[in-house]
Amino acid sequence: MVRKGPCGQTGTVSQGENQWVLHVDLDQFIAAVEVLRRPELAGKPVIVGGRGDPTERAVVSTASYEARAFGVGSGMPLRVAARKVPDAVILPVDSEAYLAASDAVMATLRAQPGATVQVLGWDEAFMGVSTADPETYARGLHDAVLESTSLHCSVGIGDTLVRAKIATGFAKPAGVFRLTVENWLAVMGDRPTIDLWGVGSKVSGRLAKLDITTVAQLAACDPADLVPEFGPKMGPWYAQLGRGDGERTVDDTPWVARGHSRETTYQQDLTEPVQVDEAVRELVARVLEDVIAEGRPVIGLTLKVRYAPFFTKTYARRIAETFDREDVLAQALNLVGKIEPERPIRLLGFRAEMSMPEEARKGHTPTRSGW
DNA sequence: TCTGGGGTCCTAGGACCC
DNA sequence: TCTGGGGTCCTAGGACCC
pLDDT digits (tens, 9 = 90+) for A139-198: 999 999 999 999 999 999 999 999 999 999 999 999 999 999 999 999 999 999 999 999
Among A132, A162, A179, the domain-final residue is A179
Domain count, chain A: 3
A198 and A60 assigned to the same domain: no
Q: How many CB atoms lie within 10 A of CB A312?
A: 11
Same domain, A203 and A338: no
Whole-angstrom distance, CA of residue A3 vs CA of residue A187: 9
Protein CA at A203 to nucleotide C1' at B12, angstroms: 17
pLDDT confidence tier of residue A367, bands split at 50, 70 and 90 = very low
Q: Tell me: the pLDDT tens digits for A97-117?
A: 999 999 999 999 999 999 999
Task: Say whether both A196 and A156 belong to one domain.
Answer: no
Asked whether residue A145 is assigned to any structural domain, the reply reads yes
- Report the length, in residues, of chain A: 371
Instruction: Assign A353 a pLDDT band (cuts: 50, 70, 90).
Output: very high
The reply to whether A206 and A290 lie within a common domain is: no
Q: Model's pTM, two decimal places?
A: 0.89
Max alpha carbon distance in chain A (Å)? 70
> Please, which pLDDT band fits residue A12 given cuts at 50, 70 and 90?
very low
The answer to whether A249 and A362 are in contact (CB under 8 A) is no
Bond into A309 cis (ω within 30): yes
- Supply the range of the domain harboring residue A355: 259-361
**A271 lies in the same domain as A158:** no
> Per the domain annotation, does A350 fall within a domain?
yes
Asked if residue A333 belongs to a domain, the reply is yes
Give the per-residue pLDDT at A360: 57
Name the phi and psi angles at A261, rounded to 5: -145, 160
Alpha carbon distance A335, A283 (integer Å): 13
Query: Residues A35-78: pLDDT tens digits?
Result: 999 999 999 999 999 999 999 988 899 899 899 899 998 888 89
Confidence (pLDDT) at A290: 92
Of A11-25, A47-61, A120-134, the poorest mean pLDDT is in A11-25
Stronger pLDDT, A10 or A124, i.e. the higher one: A124
Distances (CA, A) of A100 to A130, A154, A208: 29, 20, 42
Q: What is the pLDDT of residue A369?
A: 32
Which nucleotide is the nearest neighbour of A368, by CA and C1'? B8
Q: Cα separation of A250 and A123, whole Å?
A: 17
pLDDT digits (tens, 9 = 90+) for A187-230: 999 999 999 999 999 999 999 999 999 999 999 999 999 999 99
pLDDT of residue A296: 92
Q: Does residue A309 belong to any structural domain of this protein?
A: yes
Cβ atoms of residues A245 and A162 within 8 Å? yes
Of A163, A179, A195, the last residue of a domain is A179
In a shared domain, residues A175 and A190: no
Residue A142 falls within a domain, yes or no?
A: yes
Q: Is residue A79 part of a domain?
A: yes
Which of A179, A208, A234 is the endpoint of a domain?
A179
Protein-nucleic contacts, chain A 316-345 to strand C, CB < 7 Å: 316-318, 338
A134 and A231 assigned to the same domain: no
Residue A26 and residue A94 in one domain? yes
How far does the CA of A367 sit from the C1' of B8, in Å?
Answer: 7
Is beta strand A46-48 parallel, antiparallel or unpaired with respect to A124-130? unpaired
Indicate the pairing of strand A176-179 with strand A153-158: parallel
Model pLDDT for residues A264-281, shown as the tens digit of each residue: 999 999 999 999 999 999
Number of H helices, E strands in chain A: 12, 12
Q: How far is the CA of A28 from the CAs of A150, A151, A351, in angstroms?
A: 13, 9, 30
- In terms of domains, do A24 and A164 share one? yes
Strand C bases, protein C-beta under 7 A: 9-18
Residue nearest to nucleotide B2 (CA to C1'): A77
CATH code at position A331: 3.30.1490.100
Residue A114 in domain: yes
Tell me the average pLDDT across A236-264. Answer: 94
Amino acid A365 reads T
Does one domain contain both A169 and A193? no
Distance from CA(A10) to C1'(B10), angstroms, rounded: 40
The CATH number linked to A130 is 3.30.70.270
CA distance A166 to A50: 29
Same domain, A222 and A324: no
What's the CA gap between A252 and A118, in Å, rounded? 5
The tally of CA atoms less than 13 A away on the side-chain side of residue A14 is 16
Which nucleotide lies at the shortest CA–C1' distance from A229?
Answer: B11
Question: How far does CA A120 lie from the centroid of its chain?
Answer: 7
The answer to whether position A144 is within a domain reads yes
Same domain, yes or no: A150 and A194: no
Q: Region A313-339: what's the mean pLDDT?
A: 91
Banded model confidence at residue A254, pLDDT cuts 50, 70, 90: confident
CATH code assigned at A216: 1.10.150.20
